[in-house]
Amino acid sequence: MRKIKEVIVVEGRYDKNVLSQVVDATIVTLGGFSVFNDKEKLAFLRRLAEKQGLIVLTDSDGAGFVIRNYLKGALPKELVKQAYIPDVRGKERRKRTPGKEGKLGVEGMRPEVLIEALRRAGATFLEEEGEEIPKGEPITKADLFALGLTGGANSTEKRKALLKKLDLPEHLTANGLLEALNLLYDRESFLTWEE
């Protein structure tokens, strides 16, 4: 499995499932067109772009390009790479009928096609570069509990306040919050920031 430095942004969970079997990378789903009305998710993507860089990998149909073009205007261009899959006629296995334009999406692509699309986009393959993303000690569920963000009387309110303060999506669960925090911070920087 190829390790990639940048965060990869895809349209939906099926795209994420397929891609996570091909590359070792942080993969964030947009939820399709719902990203247009999700200011928190956009702020989260902006912060991920600043920290690690982003690669946008959407389907090659019209809807995929509408989403891609929206992100091009909403995110800093110098921190975002664009990965394009080829137009391939067909339908995904899980679907009964082909999509509106009759093209395979990200979830229908062969692994080597996805790797090539990422390579052409300029993805940083870490084993080739010999570099690692510096990571400190991760934030744990115990840390969230110690800060009163889980398992306490007011933990839900505290979590919502933290999500708002960090410009993260308000509907993140405690596990989602933990994942997002570990993408943005290491344990030491988060705990000292919180104090």
Report helix, strand or coil for 169: coil
195 contacts 65 by C-beta, under 8 angstroms:
no
> How far is 6 from 124, CA to CA, in rounded Å?
7
Class of domain 2-129: alpha beta
Render pLDDT for 139-170 as a digit per residue (tens, 0 to 9).
899 999 999 988 988 998 988 888 878 767 67
The single-letter code of the amino acid at 123 is A
- Residue with the two structure tokens 């334009």: 101
> How far is 159 from 80, CA to CA, in rounded Å?
29
Q: What is the pLDDT of residue 137?
A: 86
pTM of the entire predicted model: 0.75
For the chain, domain boundaries: 2-129, 141-194
Tell me, what DSSP letter sits at residue 123? -
Render pLDDT for 165-186 as a digit per residue (tens, 0 to 9).
876 767 677 887 887 788 777 7
Q: What is the pLDDT of residue 86?
A: 87
Nearest to 185 by CA among 142, 140, 148, 138: 138
Render pLDDT for 94-103 as a digit per residue (tens, 0 to 9).
888 877 888 8
